[in-house]
Chain A
């Protein structure tokens, strides 16, 4: 079964607007971590934000925030005030269990920011 599901293959957003990228996950572990990465067309994977399963507050990093709904097993990424440089593919990933550093990735969402 798919551990990470990203249902939006592609999205368009107007510059300066906010965009929400969906991510749902499937795990039976109580301890897990969720990561979001950005991949521009150049190919490198850039780490954006992390949410631990026991974190009580939603994670934020600058213009990135994570809407973590544990009961729904969702970890949506919100990008506020979109910029042209935000155009990229975005991946949600999960690490399961303690001391296990492998990540399972979703299929990704392509975001295109329009001027």
Chain B
């Protein structure tokens, strides 16, 4: 069965800390994505990756970076956490073979920056 695993369901960090959010998929998917979800705004794409070591900016990349050293793992990094990065973060993956392939999501990480 399809599985996307995010390392933490809840995380509390302090302003200025470097924060790592980890995501692992076991489906051999080429594409991986990081979104943040805020009330009234839906999901907004932060970064995505089409292949190992490849990354592209999404709609709101400022203050974030990503790393994809292995196909199954996609990490989101908050270089210096700020309170406006308190949000729900969702990781997703998908196949590249067909356009109708849905993205499969992890359970999300609720991140609070104090």
Contact = CB atoms under 8 A, between A and B. Distances in A.
Contacts of B35: 105
A98 B42 contact: no
A84 interface: no
Interface string B72-98: 000000000000000010101010100
A102 B99 contact: no
A57 interface: no
A105 B42 CA distance: 6
Given A102-B33, A108-B42, A44 B102 contact: no
Contact of B103 (A98, A103, A108): A103
A101 B101 contact: yes
A43 interface: yes
A68 interface: no
A50 B42 contact: no
Query: Most chain-A CB neighbours within 10 Å: which of B92, B100, B110?
Result: B100
Given A102-B45, A102-B58, A105-B42, A44 B101 contact: no
Interface of B: 9, 31, 33, 35, 40-45, 48, 50, 58, 88, 90, 92, 94, 96, 99-108, 110
Interface of A: 4, 6, 9, 31, 33, 35, 37, 42-45, 47, 50, 52, 91, 93, 95, 98-99, 101-108
